[in-house]
Structure 1
């Protein structure tokens, strides 16, 4: 059966398409590099990561992008014998301006080398590309009005200026007038538009209500692509805003697909809060819902608004298994990403025996951080790394981190204190006023050879270990969530766990990681 979310861990804003018998889900990656994740499935139950298409400097350079900026809401489509990917690179989060640049890349195959980007516009974010039956193409995005009240954590504002459309040609670019399509419902914050056509109607789905617990998929239709658009009788197709007890919350932002067998599906993002409160460490994840048509309107199959956790299917769901790497391979496994930079060779290399991290800037940098990490996918998990490091000063350190952004993390690092190597446990606890580190202690450790640093996360708490023994206090894992710190509308990515090194002397000191493992449950 389908087990929601089908893409666990930080996988938001799912663009969903079918090409023959193949299904693809493209999701946002924000400040993590390479940009955009594309998963593939044949049965809608089991999904495999097959591509991160934005992996060259010409396509994407996010150095200097603030937290929760970068790649927002990609749109994947297939037409004219090739794949098209539309994406936004957002350069500012808070304040009146957004500075959101929209691009298109193409590729003949989903896992091939994608083209250099074609710049389209910067009038707003979450763009999509619609290929009409007559071959004409249309670019759709929400329009950002910087004269409005801005963001800064306030979900109710008039900077969201409706959904606009303009014809676009691969050679000529944007053409003709800008058309105001739809202002959305009274829920507000309309974004993430997707157009599709069925039975003579153009359907426009959008995400509304912000990235938090009022999120929703809303729908409108028109006989003409330029409108006017009529709002769905129930306004929304999917949302959990009326069902606060549902295990799936923050439901919204998705795309419709008709399956090869004629059944009807809609992707959606969602969050799974901890039992200890409305904290989502995995951030916004991707789910699938079966939908149905009534009177040329789309509804959740069986009624209601909240998608079920499970959907019966003929395929068997593969179990979650531990993932362990010893880094003897030639290329970094696809489990891992790093932050912002298109020049990973300055951060790490595979030596044949280990992953060697070159210490760069601090965990608080927006430019070069040597953090190689994977997504947290479960409320409960264990992770371990084997690291060999010989720091010569307290300005050099390497080890294991649970990380959300530069203001929300915990670290257990091999460093140099009082004339010898020591393990330092410290945190940044989401305090946006001072952003100071909180030190939990410095602990004796072996002075030579590799050591194993681990972490066990049990919902709202976590504990570091050194060579299998607990070290430092039990730490608050709720910090490493969307809602930690300023709250759900101030940051909206997800938790990672990974290997980190810094050298704030600027000399590029290195540390070797010979093993990393992640164990669910």
Structure 2
């Protein structure tokens, strides 16, 4: 078998990978999307199956009002003392001098839960991980944030001892063990003890095209005692601009039962337009930051090296002791909304799906019209990741608006400032109509205006479809589910990419989603009824 990268396609950033016996687990960031922390399992590192997310209730995570790309940053999954330990961060401030946040800890004997009531740890910095030393002591390892304008905001990697008797940190033990290199922006630390050395893996350069992973080691955990790997960095694509894989860095190390080593990291697959350089800028990462796995070997001096060079490879040799894991061939999804709970592929923003948003079951999803798609507090939207460059998605919706302030339909969504929407609404000329709109850097544009498509009398349902074709996408409608009409608006997919959002906003960490939404900012809570949703993948090339 071969590992084909990315192993987790679409928005699966900041992987934390571990092995328990013969099973591997990966935890990924989810930022403002609910449920919090994405989990997968595998026995071969090639095929991965989605597990229930651990943070499914407001008592574990309440992100109402969080800025886009706030919320869950870089969770850390570990296993010790017969249970899983999950450290996660809820970031409340994204832009500006401050990164207000809280780090939490929850544990479970079974990866599927139940998970314990979260314990508040600290707010010193994000990307916190828990290191279980072989002498029984435990330490929180984390990026450290410095708001002072005359210091660099990334103030090294801090180590703080964790007392398992009180289940609290011991603040007076805190010390900076690694200041990073001249590349700066040191973050994402994971600590391991191997052959008598403490190895610290950390990301630098920012999670963009300058991203990299460095390794440092020490015989102790003393202040600034770590030396950096020579002839590094360990992993980067900064100097491999033509590689299929870009932005690799932030991640974690894992060994196999037979003693092989692998490294899971975030990765992006940017595309560029014909009139653009493929080198600078390197393109548009509409699938967000995904997860790759590279094989690791150790040199004669005891330093880890990426097999094939520090740029990594698309195809990687699977473990010799891999156990074949059965999984779906792709991520296509068809949902008839038959069950009273949402499928694991669905996500909501900031809070879990609840009765204020709507209900699901008996062949229908009802969304109660609430705030606009720019609302950070009250929003009726369910969405799933784009996981390939080419796909169709469609739905069937019933909606009876009586105001232009009411909208329901199908959306392609990045964040509150970057999205598009095909929807049923109302106008003064024709009553119920179909419109297409886009929010680009917070600027709203209606594309059809006075040419909005009237919905004929007697038509109860409208079918909507989106066709995503890597660089562009379109919307279609039907009044019978058979005869489709393309709406003459072609939209630029790059607007829903990390790289585009970065140009105007400090939060650019997620990826494109496709989903269903109902808006009624009149406050009269007009419901929309969806009969099904279908997401059909064609692949990464078509």
In 1, the alpha carbon distance for the partners of 2:74 and 2:461 equals: 41
Contact 2:331–2:387 (CA under 8 A) maintained in structure 1 = no
Displacement of 1:3: 1.2
Displacement of 1:489: 5.4
Q: Which residue in the other structure is 2:297 paired with?
A: 292
Counterpart check, 1:395 vs 2:391: no
In 2, the alpha carbon distance for the partners of 1:345 and 1:287 equals: 37
Select the residue among 436, 447, 465 that pairs with 1:425.
436
Q: Which residue in the other structure is 2:261 paired with?
A: 264
Contact 1:292–1:298 (CA under 8 A) maintained in structure 2 = yes
Contact 1:185–1:235 (CA under 8 A) maintained in structure 2 = no
Contact 2:74–2:127 (CA under 8 A) maintained in structure 1 = yes
Give the stretch that moved more between structures: 12-21 or 259-268.
259-268
Counterpart check, 1:466 vs 2:477: yes
Q: Which residue in the other structure is 1:164 paired with?
A: 158
Q: Deviations over 1:148-191 (max 9, x none)?
A: 36xxxxxxx81000000010123431124211110111111000
Q: Which residue in the other structure is 1:234 paired with?
A: 231
Give SS of 2:489's match.
Answer: strand
Q: Which residue in the other structure is 2:285 paired with?
A: 280
Counterpart check, 1:437 vs 2:444: yes
Counterpart check, 1:338 vs 2:348: yes
Give SS of 1:484's match.
Answer: helix
Q: 1:170 to 1:359 in 2, by over 3 A?
A: farther
Q: Deviations over 1:391-415 (max 9, x none)?
A: 1211111000000001111100111
TM-score calculated relative to the size of structure 1 = 0.95
Select the residue among 175, 181, 196 that pairs with 2:177.
181
Give SS of 2:494's match.
Answer: helix
Select the residue among 241, 244, 267 that pairs with 2:241.
244
Q: 1:131 to 1:246 in 2, by over 3 A?
A: same
Displacement of 1:312: 3.6
In 1, the alpha carbon distance for the partners of 2:523 and 2:331 equals: 39
Displacement of 1:25: 0.4
Give the stretch that moved more between structures: 332-341 or 466-475.
466-475
Give the stretch that moved more between structures: 69-78 or 171-180.
171-180
Contact 1:389–1:511 (CA under 8 A) maintained in structure 2 = yes
Q: Deviations over 1:468-514 (max 9, x none)?
A: 22014111111011112443854121100000111101122111111
In 2, the alpha carbon distance for the partners of 1:293 and 1:402 equals: 44
TM-score calculated relative to the size of structure 2 = 0.91
Query: Tell me, which stretches of 5 or more residues in structure 1 are unaligned?
Result: 150-156
Displacement of 1:275: 3.5
Give SS of 2:498's match.
Answer: coil
In 2, the alpha carbon distance for the partners of 1:287 and 1:348 equals: 36
1:332-411 matched pairs, under 5 angstroms: 332-342=342-352, 344-411=354-421
In 2, the alpha carbon distance for the partners of 1:422 and 1:113 equals: 47
Contact 1:210–1:489 (CA under 8 A) maintained in structure 2 = no
Q: Which residue in the other structure is 2:252 paired with?
A: 255
Contact 1:268–1:287 (CA under 8 A) maintained in structure 2 = yes
Which protein is richer in strand relative to its size?
Answer: 1
Contact 1:3–1:309 (CA under 8 A) maintained in structure 2 = yes
Report runs of 4+ in structure 1 exceeding 3 Å deviation: 312-318
Displacement of 1:417: 1.5
Q: Which residue in the other structure is 1:222 paired with?
A: 218
Q: 1:334 to 1:301 in 2, by over 3 A?
A: same
